[in-house]
Amino acid sequence: METSKQNNKEETEPQAAPQAKNQVEKSEAAEAVVSQLDLRFRDEIAGQPGGENIRRCFACGTCAAGCPVTEVDSEYNCRRIIRQILLGMRDEVLSSPLIWFCLVCYRCYVRCPQKVNFTDIMRVLRYLAVKEKRVSPEVFEQITKLDRFSQVIRHDLVKGFFENKDVSLEELESHVSGAMKEALVK
Ligand code: SF4
Ligand code: SF4
């Protein structure tokens, strides 16, 4: 009987060790993550024009629900980005390509019940990202050109609608998306 008990004990002990190791590893990972947080980040943003109300955010998600970028890419979420700022995830926010996805349309600001001006907060994030060279000058230049290009396209199309020009947006979309795929493969 004793031998059987000993065997059972031996069988269970090696399982306990990896569990304890996992716990230690998880706790070390959590400490490492906490040590990377910059709790002054929210004050830094709040100190910039437009960032004043960021601490008022109560995470209702109204901003994300009306964002045209979130509509096409659920990875982009202004509510989440504000949470990250408030938590102090400075490196993660400033190095993320997501901060360049915003259309600067102010819909989130207009809808926010707490008057958090996320659009201007986004401008501050971009300013800091450029200043700290978290985006290469080449990529920044390309994004600037793209913004200009898309404005010209929009302007010309809207003008065309009023002048009764026959424009098929479906055909245009298919043509542009085909050309983009080709360009991105190169
Ligand atoms: S709508 Fe305003 S309060 Fe609600 S999550 Fe967005 S920023 Fe925060
Ligand atoms: S300003 Fe940016 S984050 Fe706000 S609704 Fe427009 S695209 Fe979305």
Exposure string for 84-119, b = 16+ CB within 10 A, e = fewer: bbbbbbbeebbebebbbbbeeeebbbeebeeebbbb
- 98 token code pair: 């997501």
| Centroid of ligand 2 to alpha carbon of 136 (angstroms) | 23
Using the structure block, give the residue that is written with the tokens 């090696």: 14
Which ligand has the minimum distance to the alpha carbon of residue 104? 2
Which ligand has the minimum distance to the alpha carbon of residue 69? 2
Q: Is the CB–ligand 2 distance for residue 78 below 6 Å?
A: yes
Distances (CA, A) of 113 to 52, 54, 108: 15, 12, 10
- 140 token code pair: 């920044």
Residue nearest to atom 8 of ligand 1 (CA): 57
Query: What distance in Å separates the CA atoms of residue 11 and residue 15, rounded to the nearest whole number?
Result: 8
Looking at residue 13, its pLDDT comes to 47
| Centroid of ligand 2 to alpha carbon of 105 (angstroms) | 5
Which alpha helices (H) appear in the chain, and where do they start and end?
A: 2-35, 41-46, 62-65, 68-72, 78-87, 90-95, 107-111, 118-131, 137-162, 169-185
Residues 37-69: tens digit of each pLDDT? 999 999 999 999 999 999 999 999 999 999 999
Angle subtended by helix axes 78-87 and 118-131, to nearest 10: 60
Q: Is the pTM of this model over 0.85?
A: no
Q: Which of 56, 58, 67, 112 to mutate to test the pocket of ligand 1 (most atoms within 8 A of CB)?
A: 112
Contact predicate 119/104, CB 8 Å: yes
| Centroid of ligand 2 to alpha carbon of 30 (angstroms) | 32
Looking at residue 1, its pLDDT comes to 45
Which ligand has the minimum distance to the alpha carbon of residue 61? 1
Residue nearest to atom 2 of ligand 2 (CA): 102
Where do the domains of the chain lie?
41-131, 137-185
Q: Which fold has domain 41-131?
A: Fumarate Reductase Iron-sulfur Protein; Chain B, domain 2 (1.10.1060)
Residues 142-151: tens digit of each pLDDT? 999 999 999 9
- Protein residues whose CB sits closer than 6 Å to any atom of ligand 1: 57-63, 79, 82, 112-114, 116, 118
Instruction: Give pLDDT tens digits along the chain (186 positions).
Output: 444 545 454 444 455 567 777 777 777 666 666 778 999 999 999 999 999 999 999 999 999 999 999 999 999 999 999 999 999 999 999 999 999 999 999 999 999 999 999 999 999 999 999 999 999 999 999 999 999 999 999 999 999 989 988 878 888 888 888 888 887 776
Q: Is the CB–ligand 2 distance for residue 68 below 6 Å?
A: yes
